[in-house]
Amino acid sequence: MPIIVRLDRVLADRKMTLTALAEQVGVSLVNLSNLKTGKVKAIRFSTLEAICRVLECQPGDILEYAEERAGD
């Protein structure tokens, strides 16, 4: 998948747990866990906005584009 989710890295930098983020954002822990592991196909802008607000970051800090190589 060409979009890589770096939520775990940002959480570690902020010394915040996924559970604390879920509580502050108002999203279920399961949904955030699925996002963190890249198991989701979409994210609402309102959710992304809330995550960025709580983590004081930019969307590009959480999401990264990596071009797929041939054979991937």
Domain assignments of the chain as residue spans, ordered by start: 3-65
- Pure H helices in 1-72: 7-14, 18-25, 29-36, 45-55, 59-62
Exposed, middle or buried by CB within 10 Å (0-12, 13-18, 19+), for 63? middle
Cα dist from 41 to 14, 20, 24, 29, 48, whole Å = 25, 23, 23, 17, 14
Confidence bin at 2 (pLDDT 50/70/90) = confident
pTM of the model: 0.87
Question: Domain 3-65 carries which CATH code?
Answer: 1.10.260.40
pLDDT at 13 over 60: yes
pLDDT per residue over 23-60, tens digit each? Answer: 999 999 999 999 999 899 999 999 999 999 999 999 99
